[in-house]
Amino acid sequence: MLLLSIDWTNLHELLRSLYDEMMPLCEDMASVAKGVAGLGALFYVAYRVWQSLARAEPIDVFPLFRPFVLGLCIMFFPTMVLGTINGILSPVCKATSSLVEQQTFDMRKYQEEKDRLKREAMLRDPAKAFLVSDEAYDKRLDELGWSLGDMDTMINMYGQKKIYELGEKIRGWFRELLELFFQAASLLIDTLRTFFLIVLSILGPVSFALAVYDGFQSTLTTWLSRYICIYLWLPVSDLFGAVLSRIQILMLQQDIENMQDPAFIPDSSGKVYCIFMIIGIIGYFCVPTVSSWIIQAGGAGAYGQKANGAGKMAGNGAAAVGGAAGGAIAGRIRKMF
């Protein structure tokens, strides 16, 4: 399913490098957050000390450490906060990425084997061998004479060969179009993920600084949950791609096993492949929703609904293109006959 070319791979790698290059901006934002957090810590400590003195109660020192711990996190935000979270979650991304690469490699291997067996199956059939082999086509022409019946056979052979080549070109074009949509959906999710992570990382020190103030304590947990949820978009999308690739591998294995039978007629339409490409396009837009099932992030539901709606529209559009292309092919074939 994930037939990634070197260009698509470079685009995904570019997003990874973009995130690393934008991280130094966290240090610049930390200087602003230090002032906000320092002022908040002053009010936080002064209010609780004054409250304890007014009530003639002993001062509880342990809660007073909270603004200082947050200030320490702000001072070393790229290393202590982002470094810790990324260090814990990056092995998950590497594991899912290696899984996708293995499934993609196996799928390519089985696809090449299926194409080879399909060609051999058509070459074994004298009525279809000339469609895939120029040598068989020239041999059939040499066997024919110049009578009216032979001339009619030549014309029919030429028409069948051109129709077959045209059908293969149209099917190849349609598959490339679906693969383009599929890769675009994957790149869209990865781009949005990188953008959200950069925004959360750069403005993270400010969120930690606001968490010092009373009434804004939930800002800290909200930031953490959203960062982790969005970070998990990549492993979830990789798992989705691995599942689709595995399904296709099982189907390719079944087709290869059936092609061992000389009487088996392979299906050259590629309908199943196109169906799974459409499923993949729609499924990528469900990645934010699935990630929110792993860790609940408040405020991300609206985007999940919009992404799911966009996925349905993309799937409907891809299905409409497929129906239109299939109808056009059938219409041309009927006219030629």
**Structure tokens belonging to residue 190:** 């990865």
* pLDDT tens per residue, range 90-108: 888 888 888 887 777 777 7
Query: For residue 228, is pLDDT > 90?
Result: yes
Amino acid 312: pLDDT: 47
Query: Out of 143-147, 183-187, 202-206, 299-303, which region has the weakest mean confidence (pLDDT)?
Result: 299-303
Closest CA to 236 of 82, 45, 95: 95
By C-alpha distance, which of 187, 238, 243, 175 is closest to 8? 187
Q: What is the mean pLDDT of residues 185-193?
A: 88
* Separation CA 209–CA 26 (nearest Å): 13
pLDDT tens digit string along 305-325? 554 454 445 445 444 444 444
The C-alpha atoms of residue 287 and residue 278 are separated, in whole angstroms, by 15
Which of 128-137, 203-212, 223-232, 276-285 is the least confident region? 128-137
Question: Is residue 231 pLDDT above 80, yes or no?
Answer: yes
Element (H, E) at 56: none
Give CB contacts under 8 A, 24+ apart, made by 3-8.
3/104, 3/108, 3/179, 4/104, 4/183, 8/183, 8/186, 8/187
Do residues 283 and 141 touch, judged by C-beta distance below 8 A? Answer: no
Residue 131: the pLDDT is 66
Identify which has the larger pLDDT, 78 or 230. Answer: 230
Q: Are 66 and 47 in contact (CB under 8 A)?
A: no
pLDDT at 227 exceeding the cut of 90: yes
Q: In terms of DSSP H, where are the helices of the chain? A: 6-22, 25-54, 65-75, 83-124, 129-132, 134-143, 148-202, 204-210, 218-231, 233-259, 271-284, 287-294, 301-336
pLDDT of residue 233: 92
CA distance 325 to 84: 51
CB 32 within 8 A of CB 207: no
Decide which of 28 and 215 is more confident.
215
Crossing angle between the packed helical segments 148-202 and 134-143, to the nearest 10 degrees: 170
Decide: pTM greater than 0.85.
no
Dist CA 124 CA 111 (whole Å): 20
**Percentage of the chain surpassing pLDDT 90?**
7
